[in-house]
Amino acid sequence: MYVIIFEKGDFMSKIILTGDRPTGKMHLGHYVGSFKNRVRLQNSGEFDEVYLMIADSQALTDNFDNPKKVRDNVLEVILFYLACGIDPNKTNIFIQSQVPALAELTFYYMNLVTVSRLYRNPTVKQEIKLRGYDESIPSGFLNYPVSQAADITAFKATTVPVGEDQLPMIEQTREIVNSFNRIYGETLVSPKELLPENKLAKRLPGIDGKSKMSKSLGNCIYLDDSDEIINKKVMSMYTDPNHIKVTDPGSVEGNVVFTYLDVFCEDGDFVNYLPDYKNLDELKEHYKRGGLGDMVIKRFLAKILCDEIRPIREKYLEYKNNLDYVFDVLKVGTENANKKANITLNEVRSHMGIDYFDNENFIKEMKEKFSNN
């Protein structure tokens, strides 16, 4: 009988890699859509290694003319990671540009992808339109899905927690993995996406209720907003335009205040702040019947959001005053990331036969070849 023992670190490992472009402050949409989930995954004990990447190189593909914006936001991003509960003892936080293996892998993977396939990537297509690139699209931008495949495969990630808009990138990564393994032999690991479970959290609308929360639309609640600003933003929220008098029946569908309550409110909040109701269903019923004013529901939501954001803001400010520590976290995380990515890069080089100085057979082979001729 044979017993096969798999060591930690080989292909049985469960490994997470995910990341964010450092292009702005973090908001409530990031928190419910991904940060909360990442903290849960990090603490689940289900994963052998967890990597969280600040994707500055990718951010430069459409911000190359404004590197200061990208550089300054690297620290913003890690401050919010730490404030939200990412634990550097469990998660390696690192900076993409400081892991050179990623650029080299990208270069080899580019051979495996056609230009027309890149143009067909739905997310890239949409972004090209949005940025008005037309024919003048920088090749670096068109290629960023290939570099994202390098990010994922360098760490042999099995699981990539992302939002729906990133699915085309994971799909392209799997195609690259398949091509690479077919041509050069089994080397790379094929990743699976992990989408957020909570449907509402996937696409938290902005305070205008029109679209997803996004910095460029100016409809965000930021994770370091003060209680005062949170109150102001909630008071300006879009509700039901036909709910004019308090006695009018109101609609909860498409009413941002209720959308947010669906995501954030727990029964305990009623005990603390609105004891006339037992739960959200009761509150909704009253609103639909008429006789419940917008101010009541807005004040209630504001209190809940202030409670949610306060601890994050406080930790954010704490870490902001302790940048030496934050820099150390980044340095150690990046060191670990380099170790891991270099192992993969060496395997890639060896399977491609470009490991000249590490391959004793190569010199022997060449000597034989040239002596025979």
Query: From the CB of 19, what's the least distance to ligand TRP, in Å?
Result: 4
CA proximity to 123, closest of 164, 67, 94: 164
Q: Indicate the pairing of strand 159-161 with strand 92-95.
A: unpaired
- Please tell me whether residue 147 adopts helix, strand or coil conformation: helix
Provide the CA 159 distance to its chain's centre, in angstroms. Answer: 13
Task: Give whichever of 154 and 265 is closer to ligand TRP, judged by the CB atom.
Answer: 154
Task: Give whichever of 133 and 362 is closer to ligand TRP, judged by the CB atom.
Answer: 133
Task: Give whichever of 18 and 344 is closer to ligand TRP, judged by the CB atom.
Answer: 18
Task: Give whichever of 141 and 264 is closer to ligand TRP, judged by the CB atom.
Answer: 141
**Residue 149 region by backbone torsions, left for phi larger than 0, else alpha for psi between -120 and 50, else beta:** alpha
CA proximity to 29, closest of 278, 222, 158, 230: 222
CA distances for 11 relative to 110, 156, 346, 349, angstroms = 25, 8, 16, 19
Query: From the CB of 22, what's the least distance to ligand TRP, in Å?
Result: 10
Task: Give whichever of 128 and 305 is closer to ligand TRP, judged by the CB atom.
Answer: 128
Query: From the CB of 248, what's the least distance to ligand TRP, in Å?
Result: 42
Query: From the CB of 200, what's the least distance to ligand TRP, in Å?
Result: 20
Contact criterion met (CB below 8 Å) for 145 and 93: no
The residues of the shown chain that bind ligand TRP, judged by CB under 6 A, are 17-21, 55, 58, 148, 151-152, 160, 162, 166
CA proximity to 290, closest of 231, 240, 344, 256: 240
How many separate helices (H) and strands (E) can be counted in the chain?
18, 5
Task: Give whichever of 26 and 302 is closer to ligand TRP, judged by the CB atom.
Answer: 26
Query: From the CB of 308, what's the least distance to ligand TRP, in Å?
Result: 23
- Please tell me whether residue 293 adopts helix, strand or coil conformation: coil
H-run or E-run covering 76: helix 67-84
| Nearest-angstrom CA–CA distance, 373 and 366 | 11
Provide the CA 236 distance to its chain's centre, in angstroms. Answer: 28
Query: From the CB of 105, what's the least distance to ligand TRP, in Å?
Result: 12
Provide the CA 333 distance to its chain's centre, in angstroms. Answer: 17
Task: Give whichever of 22 and 250 is closer to ligand TRP, judged by the CB atom.
Answer: 22
Query: From the CB of 35, what's the least distance to ligand TRP, in Å?
Result: 12
Contact criterion met (CB below 8 Å) for 154 and 347: no
| Nearest-angstrom CA–CA distance, 197 and 37 | 9
Task: Give whichever of 162 and 301 is closer to ligand TRP, judged by the CB atom.
Answer: 162
Task: Give whichever of 21 and 298 is closer to ligand TRP, judged by the CB atom.
Answer: 21
Which tokens belong to 303?
């209190």
Query: From the CB of 18, what's the least distance to ligand TRP, in Å?
Result: 4
Query: From the CB of 147, what's the least distance to ligand TRP, in Å?
Result: 7
